Amino acid sequence: NAGVTQTPKFRVLKTGQSMTLLCAQDMNHEYMYWYRQDPGMGLRLIHYSVGEGTTAKGEVPDGYNVSRLKKQNFLLGLESAAPSQTSVYFCASSYIIGTGKETQYFGPGTRLLVL
Amino acid sequence: LAKTTQPISMDSYEGQEVNITCSHNNIATNDYITWYQQFPSQGPRFIIQGYKTKVTNEVASLFIPADRKSSTLSLPRVSLSDTAVYYCLVGDRNTGFQKLVFGTGTRLLVSP
């Protein structure tokens, strides 16, 4: 049981390039999330998914797109990278207990540097 | 939106009990209170969650007063490995995931 894994661990992009970050979970969780964390800051929610084939915007969605074609995978895309997207990206998945209690399980993060 | 306020940083010594208080004055009836721990270069890790009164697990205790406008994470006998950032979250899945907001957290430094 690997939990939540993220690919790649580190990437350097030039402004305007595109890339896709992959998140995979093997816990059969319905809910998946993408966050970004800037230095000295807390995590901010980019997009999330409540199930296969569904996605929704979070707090800071601009410049990102996501897809959830399979329940275990959640992809985050940057179509035209900008220096402001330099950050650490965390993926998480969760399940709901009973009447709404939720525990999110996080991946190890992807460090992205946009030059 | 139930915003949380925590101290920016705290210092402690090995073996001491550490209490981190989180303020959430606008907490809603259906909101749960959850604490996460984050080590450098790692994703956050769930510590404890509660709705009211006291919750205890093998890692920590969570104290929530009757008005639920604050909560206190208690770490008994901390060690050097407890040095991390601790986040308090308040949110209700049923009213939208956007309300699961991570603040800047409390940076705990445990010294020998």
pLDDT digit string (tens) for B64-88? 999 999 999 999 999 999 999 999 9
Query: Measured between CB atoms, does A58 come within 8 Å of chain B?
Result: yes
Strands A4-7 and A19-25 turn out to be: antiparallel
| Residues of chain B positioned with their CB less than 8 A from the CB of A102 | 32, 34, 91, 93, 100
Does position B98 have pLDDT exceeding 70, yes or no? no
Does position A15 have pLDDT exceeding 60, yes or no? yes
The mean pLDDT value for A29-58 works out to: 91
Cβ–Cβ < 8 Å for B88, B72: no
B86 to chain A: closest CA residue:
A42
Query: What's the pLDDT at B30?
Result: 79
Cβ–Cβ < 8 Å for A44, B84: no
Query: What's the pLDDT at A97?
Result: 64
Query: What's the pLDDT at A100?
Result: 55
Q: What is the overall mean pLDDT for chain A?
A: 92
Instruction: Please provide residue B81's backbone torsions phi and psi, each rounded to the nearest 5 degrees.
Output: -70, -5
pLDDT band at B2; cut points 50, 70, 90: low
Instruction: Please provide residue B14's backbone torsions phi and psi, each rounded to the nearest 5 degrees.
Output: -55, 140
Query: Measured between CB atoms, does B45 come within 8 Å of chain A?
Result: yes
Query: Measured between CB atoms, does A29 come within 8 Å of chain B?
Result: no
> Each residue of B27-53: b (16+ CB within 10 Å) or e?
beeebbbbbbbbeeeebbebbbbbbee
**Residue A104 corresponds to which tokens in the numbers above?**
């999110």
Query: What's the pLDDT at A86?
Result: 97
Q: What is the overall mean pLDDT for chain B?
A: 89
Query: What's the pLDDT at B27?
Result: 86
Could you tell me where the beta strands, DSSP code E, fall in chain A? 4-7, 10-13, 19-25, 31-37, 43-49, 56-57, 65-67, 73-78, 87-97, 101-106, 110-114
Query: What's the pLDDT at A59?
Result: 86
Instruction: Read off the pLDDT of residues A60-109 as tens digits, 9 standing for 90 and up.
Output: 999 999 999 999 999 999 999 999 999 999 999 987 765 556 788 999 99
Query: What's the pLDDT at A40?
Result: 80
The mean pLDDT value for B16-44 works out to: 91
The mean pLDDT value for B22-44 works out to: 89
| Residues of chain B positioned with their CB less than 8 A from the CB of A107 | 43
Distance from CA of A33 to the nearest CA of B (A): 9
Cβ–Cβ < 8 Å for B88, B62: no
Query: What's the pLDDT at B90?
Result: 84
**Residue A102 corresponds to which tokens in the numbers above?**
């939720």
Strands A19-25 and A73-78 turn out to be: antiparallel
Handedness of CA A8, A13, A15, A19 (dihedral sign): negative
Query: Measured between CB atoms, does B56 come within 8 Å of chain A?
Result: no
Does position A7 have pLDDT exceeding 60, yes or no? yes
Cβ–Cβ < 8 Å for B77, B17: yes
| Range scoring the smallest mean pLDDT among A60-64, B28-32, B43-47, B108-112 | B28-32
